[in-house]
Amino acid sequence: MIALLTGQVVSLEAGACVVDVSGVGYLVHASTRTLAALPKPPAPARVLVETVVREDAIQLFGFAESAERDWFRLLTTVQGVGAKVALGILSALSPKDLVAAIAAADRTSLTRAPGVGPKLAVRLLTELRDKAGGMPTGASLPASAPAPGGVVADALSALANLGYRRAEALPAVERAMAVDSEASLDAVIRASLRELAR
């Protein structure tokens, strides 16, 4: 199995690049995030690789960082998530954003990725909730989602109506609640907005 390629990037195209290693060109599929991190051809580069072997093909998937490769491996364990969908998710969300989306049970962020509909987003949230906290970029996940109708849930709803994504609003709301667990809804929203404006 190929785990790493060190050579020269000779071409970049939509969803893939070609890495020349001692005269052999390897076609490496990658997320837009990884492709953006690679130097403009021709230039030397080091690409972490996950080799996927199927009946009809052997494909290489490349990553600029090990955290992205680890997330690729984890995402492909979820039923309905193949390599192409996993790359789409990693193109739409960084590993850090993925942890935040899973922690916040943010289906909307996940459905922005190509190939991820509402049902698959729910499956991703369900299956990855307990695993995401152990990922290299993972902060610990909260024990449970905010109770419906509570101050946290109401504040998140208000912030969502103002255009903030749940994944970015949740940490601000949690910090506001940590300062004063008995704070009113208005106070939590104001404190969260002050933090989000920074």
Total structural domains within the chain: 3
Supply the range of the domain harboring residue 43. Answer: 4-63
Is 143 contained in some domain? no
pTM greater than 0.75: no
From 132, 163, 180, give the residue that closes a domain: 132
Q: What is the mean pLDDT of residues 110-126?
A: 90
CA-wise closest residue to 21 among 1, 4, 41:
4
Of the two residues 138 and 134, the one the predictor is more confident about is 134
pLDDT at 136: 56
As a whole number of angstroms, the distance between CA 72 and CA 93 comes to 12
Report the pLDDT value the prediction gives residue 134, as an integer from 0 to 100.
65
User: What average pLDDT does range 163-177 have in this prediction?
Assistant: 79
Report the range of poorest mean pLDDT among 111-125, 151-165, 180-194.
Answer: 151-165
Statement: residue 145 has pLDDT above 60: no
Query: Does residue 28 sit in the same domain as residue 54?
Result: yes
The answer on 74 and 54 residing in a single domain is no
Mean pLDDT score of the chain, rounded to an integer? 83
Amino acid at 10: V
Q: Which of 25-29, 95-99, 150-154, 168-172 has the lowest mean pLDDT?
A: 150-154
* pLDDT at residue 146, as a whole number: 45
Mean pLDDT of 141-145: 40
7 sits in which H/E element: strand 4-13
Q: Are 83 and 75 in contact (CB under 8 A)?
A: no
Query: Per-residue pLDDT for 139 more than 50?
Result: no
